[in-house]
Amino acid sequence: MTTAKTPAGHRIGYRRVSTLDQATDRQLDGVALDIEFEDKASGKDAQRPQLQAALKHARAGDTFICHSMDRLARNLDDLRRIVDDLTGRGVAVQFIKEGMTFTGKDDPMARLMLSVMGAFAEFERSLIRERQREGIEIAKSKGVYKGRKPSLTGERLEALRARLKEPGKVNMTQLAKDFGISRETLYQYKRELCTRS
């Protein structure tokens, strides 16, 4: 969290990932912000320390910016409550992925879209979780479930270690492309490799 006090009219960014080993780098990448808050916690409820700090910090005239609706809330009730609280205090709420901004002066169609998009995101998450559970149970019953395999092993892992240790600033986006992994996976490897060094 940035500690500088933000006067009214500024842009407040909120990022969230579910676990400590996930990276938030892709969220709000390239978005101009005056202050940022970040939680590494489940979105199952709104009692997240940095979310609460961000909500408390927001003032009339500010814009509260989040990568997507599912990063702000995991269910429709929480999503509507948070958006209603902010817009009711004169804070605009912007979702980058959905390309939507809510101001509290929205027409009924905008309110409907918030509910529809939020409900869709919640439904999609529940389907993904159900498919994962079913797949794991089937694999376990066949005795083939061994958990997730590492993306890189052996020589490729050593090559990545060497690239990460090169002098000068490493272009993480290009490095992820070179090794065919996501930036989140790359940052996870970086943490692991640096810890072992």
Question: What pLDDT shows up at residue 4?
Answer: 46
Question: What pLDDT shows up at residue 2?
Answer: 45
Paired with 40 in beta bridges are: 17
Considering the candidates 18, 68, 151, 182, report the single residue annotated as catalytic: 18
Task: Please list the ranges in the chain whose pLDDT falls under 50.
Answer: 1-7
Strand order in the sheet with 35-40: 35-40, 11-17, 63-66, 92-95, 100-102
Question: What pLDDT shows up at residue 88?
Answer: 93
Paired with 101 in beta bridges are: 94
Question: What pLDDT shows up at residue 101?
Answer: 93
Q: pTM here? A: 0.59
The count of C-alpha atoms lying within 13 angstroms of the C-alpha of 90, restricted to the half-sphere facing its C-beta, is 8
Question: What pLDDT shows up at residue 181?
Answer: 81
Nearest to 94 by CA among 25, 167, 86: 86
Residues 6 or more apart whose CB falls under 8 angstroms from that of 148 comprise: none
Question: What pLDDT shows up at residue 13?
Answer: 95
Q: Is 197 a catalytic residue?
A: no
